[in-house]
Amino acid sequence: MCYLRVFNNYDVMKELLDLILPRDVLACFEVVKVCTTSARIDIYLDEKNIPPAEYSGQGVLSKGFTVPTSIQDFPLRGRAVYLHVRRRKWQLPSGDVVSNKFSLAADGTRYSREFAFFLKGILG
C-alpha cells in the first residue's frame, strides 16, 4: 500500500519523523512518499530545493534529480526500512552539473550510518 499524506500538525509530524529518520535528514530532504507491506517500509525522500552553498547567488538552476539511492535503516515494528533518496542536480551558468554531497550511508555499505554503527557493535 502506498500513500501520500498531508498532516495537519506539521510540528508533531516533524518531531515524529525526526525520531524515525536518520539524524538531520529532514534539514535537507522532504518525505514525498511512503509504501508499506507486511515485511517492509519504503520511505522516499527528495532533496529540498536548496542549491549547494558554494554556488549560492551564482544563478544555478535545478535540473531534476539523480537516480535514487536506497539505504537500509533500522527496522520498525518488525519491518525492514529502506530510504530511497533522490539528490537534486544543479546546472551552473557554465553548463556544468553539480549536486550536494551527503553522507547518509556508512562507507562501503548501503546501511544508514547509525544502523551500520549499531550492527558493528552487535556483530563486532
Q: Is residue 73's pLDDT more than 60?
A: yes
pLDDT in tens, 11-59: 777 788 888 888 778 888 899 999 999 999 999 999 999 888 888 788 8
Residue with grid cell 520511505, as numbered in its chain: 43
What does R_g of the chain's alpha carbons equal in angstroms? 16
Q: Is residue 75's pLDDT more than 60?
A: yes
Q: Is residue 105's pLDDT more than 70?
A: no
Q: Is residue 60's pLDDT more than 70?
A: yes
pLDDT in tens, 76-92: 899 999 999 998 999 99
pTM of the model: 0.76
